[in-house]
Amino acid sequence: MPEHIKTDICIIGAGSAGLSVAAGAAQMGARTVLIERGLMGGDCLNFGCVPSKSLLAAAKAAAAWRHGAAFGIDAAPSQVDWPRVRAHVAGVIAAIAPHDSVERFEGLGVRVIKAEARFTGPDTLIAGEAILRARRFVIATGSEPLVPPIPGLDQVSFLTNETVFGIEAAPQHLLVLGGGPIGCELAQAHRRLGAEVTVIEMSRILPKDDEDASSIVRESLIGDGVRVIEGGKAVAIERTDKGVIVEVERNGSNERLSGSHLLIAVGRRPSVAGLNLEAAGVAVDKSGIRLDERLRTTNRRIYAAGDVSGGPQFTHMAGHEAGIVLRNALFRLPAKVERRAVPWVTYTDPELAQVGLTEAAARAKGEDMVCLRSDYGESDRARAERAGDGFVKVIATRRGAVLGATIVGRNAGELILPWVLAMQHRLGLRAMASVIAPYPTLGEIGKRAAGNFYAPRLFSAGTRRLVRLLQRLP
């Protein structure tokens, strides 16, 4: 006989968004059910942020010897032991997994059901042997790799971010289809760990980022030995005895590229298959589940959060959206999702971080703007560490309101946070320029960029006349 369950809130999906909602709801006293058909922790823990950053850390360690000579340190080339690299990645996942485990959430008072969920009505679903009715539902089923319709792709074995960390032997030649953040990060990591790597991108690498910043990342990839093909379209794929061939069309001619492995990294799409959303009265469009600013679906009992919402697909955004859902679903507060000051980081070496508008986006919108820039090469800390490639670029109104910031260089992901704070709380350039920054730090680069807004007036002819006049006073 099926089990009948009534609850206050039911969350489908135990990734970053779902776990945050479930933990918060249970600890605030709501009867909470969490349904997950796969691995607890979702994409971030098992296939995304955690394994990719662990692999990047190993790759950075493997490449460190190359820079020693500049500091007077000579070292031999590193020797990569692939099984130990894999063990490092697996060990990091294993260390974090207990925080996302069934046992921990049951300890918080969450009922966890390991099954696939399917709606049967606007307030009812089936999960395994259970029939569940809830006052509120949250769809947090995440996203899945987008697989493009390239002739021959269905006839070959290929990797995605969900399978690339499980390969037992290091690739000899990795072909990466897609030059976005995932493609660039994994390309650089595998190249530094000894593989030949070719990246194929239809436009330019990191096309959503500032072009000047993307150029610095491109030069770093090329410097590592990655072949970068931009403006190239994969038109056919073939299986071979040694791996795979990708035929690329570029500038009116075709080139056949041979590789041992093929990684598909052209994007992701919301994962909604099998939920039977039509029965729940939840509308879906091309971008995903249709939502309002409070993350409510077309069925006001049902919310969506995380990658499945179709918005910026970042773990930190999933956490933010979880908070919005809790305020709406539990406290009936009209909280709205923040989309103005959402940061993102590509964890290549150097890193590329962005919040708000890029320079190109601001110009396309017709903003009356100023573009402020400070280079890493002007920083004493960057000079000391021989990390002079990079810059901070700030887009602001002529009154000093921050519209966006781009940082490319060492620790860019850490340095973007003050600019997120400035945008979210509308602090403006005056606050950023007047802050006391410790010396010597890379953080001074951002302060200098903000100070450049005031420099033309501060060191103007009018200021000099005023100072000379004031010096005449007793």
pLDDT at 189: 98
**What are the tens digits of pLDDT across the range 172-229?**
999 999 999 999 999 999 999 999 999 999 999 999 999 999 999 999 999 999 999 9
**233-240 and 243-250: which strand pairing?**
antiparallel
pLDDT higher at 457 or 65: 65
Share of the chain above pLDDT 90, in %: 91
What are the CA-CA distances from residue 384 to residues 186, 346, 380, 410 (Å)?
Answer: 29, 24, 6, 13
CATH superfamily membership of 3-145+269-329: FAD/NAD(P)-binding domain (3.50.50.60)
CATH code 3.50.50.60 region(s) in the chain: 3-145+269-329, 153-266
pLDDT higher at 295 or 285: 295
**What are the tens digits of pLDDT across the range 242-252?**
999 999 999 99
What are the CA-CA distances from residue 263 to residues 50, 157, 431 (Å)?
Answer: 18, 10, 44
Contacts of 50 by beta carbon, 8 Å cutoff, 6+ apart = 44, 92, 93, 96
CATH code 3.30.390.30 region(s) in the chain: 350-458
- Angstrom distance (rounded) from CA 39 to CA 18: 12
The topology under which CATH files domain 153-266 is: FAD/NAD(P)-binding domain (3.50.50)
**For residues 254-259, average pLDDT:** 97
For residue 336, pLDDT beyond 80: yes
pLDDT at 419: 98
Buried-exposed string 273-297: b where 16+ CB fall within 10 A, e elsewhere: eebbbeebbbebeeebbebeebbbb
pTM: 0.95
For residue 347, pLDDT beyond 90: yes
What is the overall mean pLDDT for the chain? 95
> What is the band of 443 on the pLDDT scale with cuts at 50, 70, 90?
very high
For residue 1, pLDDT beyond 80: no
**What are the tens digits of pLDDT across the range 352-364?**
999 999 999 999 9
Contacts of 95 by beta carbon, 8 Å cutoff, 6+ apart = none
**What are the tens digits of pLDDT across the range 296-313?**
999 999 999 999 988 788
CATH dotted code for 350-458: 3.30.390.30
pLDDT at 309: 87
The position carrying tokens 């590229």 is: 257
**For residues 76-102, average pLDDT:** 96
> What is the band of 457 on the pLDDT scale with cuts at 50, 70, 90?
confident
For residue 458, pLDDT beyond 90: no
> What is the band of 456 on the pLDDT scale with cuts at 50, 70, 90?
confident
